Amino acid sequence: MDEIDRRLFEMLRRDARQPVASLANKLRMSRGAIQNRIDRMLVRGEIQGFTIRTANDDGGRVRAIMAIAVEGERSPAVLKALRGFPEIEAVHMTNGRWDMIAEIATESLAGFSAVLDRARLIEGIAATETSLLLATHRL
């Protein structure tokens, strides 16, 4: 996946109902080029389908938060590296012991483990602490 694929993937994750023409406009590319990229991601298995989410169903995904301590002034580089993970839905900059909190969502525990392994290899990450989200109560 290149940077355009990652941006496209994120846009589709937020709203998979967006017309291809709208995606193409936002990415400043032709409709055909965007459709080809979506088709390639489907063939490679990076996109395995399109679905809906309801207010109280996350599709059975494994969800977690990862607290991240960053070495020195490496936050911009770490943030850039984390943007390359389709499984990371958001990164929050924080104060205190942890510099960042990453929201992670995967389809399986094996996928979750792989994300943790890859994230911990990012240069500039000094330490992490991860907690699985077992239940969510919307208030």
| CATH assignment of the domain containing 85 | 3.30.70.920
138 occurs within a structural domain: no
Give the CATH number, domain containing residue 10. 1.10.10
17 occurs within a structural domain: yes
Tell me, yes or no, if the pTM score tops 0.75.
no
Tell me the pLDDT of the chain averaged across its residues.
89
**What are the distances in angstroms from CA 53 to CA 14, 17, 79, 135, 138?**
10, 12, 27, 16, 15
User: Range of 28's domain?
Assistant: 3-43
Pick from 26-35, 57-66, 74-83: least confident: 57-66
Specify the number of domains making up the chain.
2
Cα separation, 97 vs 100, in Å, equals: 9
53 occurs within a structural domain: no
